[in-house]
Amino acid sequence: MSYSSDEDQPDPELLELLRQHLNGKQPSPTAAETGVLDSAEFVYNHAIDVALDMRGCKKAANTIWDQMQQREYSPATWSTHELHPKEKNEETVQFIFTMDLLNFSFWSEKSEEDRFQVEYRGKRWTGYWSLVAALQRGLEEGIPITDPAFWINDEKFTPDVLRTVFRSATDEEIPLLQERFDCLREAGQVLHEKYDGSVLDLIEEANGSAAALVNLLASDFPCFADIHSYPGRRQPIRILKRAQILVADLWACFEGQSYGSFADIDKITMFADYRVPQMLWQLGCLLYGPTLEAAVREKKMIEHGGEWEMQLRACSIWCVELIRREIIREHPEAKGKVNAVLIDFFLYDAVKELEKEGGERIPHHRTRSIWY
């Protein structure tokens, strides 16, 4: 079961601000906390079907750091991807906001040839890159798909228009098309009502804090509120995948400057999806219980919001956090150069390379939702 709001639970950011007020302190831009890491640690400590192999984590930390060094992996790597925007301007901010509103559920049971694909620049794109390609193509065709004012125009923005943006080169349509339309419409309304229709005003409200921006997204935009219940815990489990990756994409695109300047970017965790857990298993970091592993291998649907899904996602967050700590412990020179964001980006790129080479030893888990 997912929470539609967090109204009945203490807000970690508000609690911290209250403490500072009572102590006579002015709130700092870095005072906010997302609660994601705390949630992940709780689930990890109580997980039955997912565990971490500490030796595997240590070995993976060295491998990841070595390869990141060899590839000169940094925030600048984000813009080197062929389809990512190259300009550092307000239009790119809107592009990233739109992209991460819709950054969920691209997997298909069909073959690589028959699955949903977007034809653009003489190539066919799948997965996450089909989203980026579709947005770029739509803009080139004169559809203002990244404009929040367009999203709330009932006459001009319809499901059929979005279907045109995401038209497929195959017979398979993009999954959850109506849900994507609803996300855009809802986000446009929130921006209009609370932020004068401006993504820039939303970012400014966070005052240079990555955690504060994540919390604003989760509290003001229901489609970013990736928050769930878990047995034995009174507070909800905060995963916040798309809210966090939006902040991370801004930081990486703008290389920590301008609209991507966040003093506390290291508070962002990995983005709990279906690909990075697969890679962490491949690296020998994640261990699945026999029943769960059988379900993953047989490509059975994993219940959204169920204990298996929460364990897969939360333990992956905690795993990447331990890998980050191990890298810094073994390589003090990595401090300030590596964080969970870059590790996640690296792992995602690595698993996509494995997929292309046919080197996957286990499938990704199957859950269909708007959260990832």
CA dist., res. 262 & res. 78, Å (int):
17
Tell me the pLDDT tens digit for each residue of 37-60: 999 999 999 999 999 999 999 999
CA dist., res. 191 & res. 206, Å (int):
14
Q: Return the pLDDT at 358.
A: 84
Q: Return the pLDDT at 29.
A: 54
Q: What is the band of 259 on the pLDDT scale with cuts at 50, 70, 90?
A: very high
Q: Return the pLDDT at 2.
A: 41
Across 199-225, average pLDDT:
98
Tell me the pLDDT tens digit for each residue of 62-110: 999 999 999 999 999 999 999 999 999 999 999 999 999 999 999 999 9
Q: Return the pLDDT at 256.
A: 97
Q: Return the pLDDT at 342.
A: 96
Residue 93, number of CB atoms within 10 A of its CB: 24
Q: What is the band of 7 on the pLDDT scale with cuts at 50, 70, 90?
A: very low
66 assigned to active site:
no
Across 333-340, average pLDDT:
93
CA angle at 236 for the pair 4 and 38, rounded to the nearest 5°: 135
Q: How is 233-263 classified by DSSP, letter by letter?
A: -SSPEE--HHHHHHHHHHHHHTTTSGGG--T
Q: What is the band of 10 on the pLDDT scale with cuts at 50, 70, 90?
A: low
Instruction: Give the ranges where 166-306 is alpha helix by DSSP (H).
Output: 177-194, 199-205, 210-220, 241-253, 276-282, 290-297
CA dist., res. 355 & res. 147, Å (int):
34
Q: How much of the chain, in percent, has pLDDT values that exceed 90?
A: 88
Q: Return the pLDDT at 359.
A: 84
- Reported in sequence order, the residue ranges of the chain that DSSP labels E, i.e. its strands, are 50-52, 118-120, 123-125, 227-228, 237-238, 286-288
Q: How much of the chain, in percent, has pLDDT values that exceed 70?
A: 92
CA dist., res. 368 & res. 244, Å (int):
19
DSSP annotation of 363 reads: P
**Segment 341-345 long-range contacts (CB within 8 Å, at least 24 positions apart):** 341/248, 341/251, 341/252, 341/265, 341/268, 341/270, 342/68, 342/73, 342/74, 342/75, 343/64, 343/270, 344/248, 344/270, 344/271, 344/276, 344/320, 345/73, 345/77, 345/78, 345/248, 345/252
CA dist., res. 277 & res. 286, Å (int):
7
The gap from C-alpha 291 to its chain's centroid, in whole angstroms, comes to 27
| Between residues 24 and 7, the one the model is more confident about | 24
Q: Return the pLDDT at 332.
A: 94
Q: Return the pLDDT at 16.
A: 57
Q: What is the mean pLDDT of the chain?
A: 93
Q: What is the band of 26 on the pLDDT scale with cuts at 50, 70, 90?
A: very low
Tell me the pLDDT tens digit for each residue of 284-322: 999 999 999 999 999 999 999 999 999 999 999 999 999
Q: Return the pLDDT at 20.
A: 54
Residue 30, pLDDT > 70, answer: no
Q: Return the pLDDT at 6.
A: 42
| CB contact set of 49 (below 8 Å; sequence gap of 6+) | 288, 289, 291, 292, 307, 308, 311
Catalytic residue among 226, 249, 273, 344: 273
Tell me the pLDDT tens digit for each residue of 240-250: 999 999 999 99
| CB contact set of 118 (below 8 Å; sequence gap of 6+) | 124, 125, 126, 130, 133, 134, 137, 166, 167, 168, 169
Q: Return the pLDDT at 25.
A: 46
Q: Which residues pair with 238 in a beta bridge?
A: 227
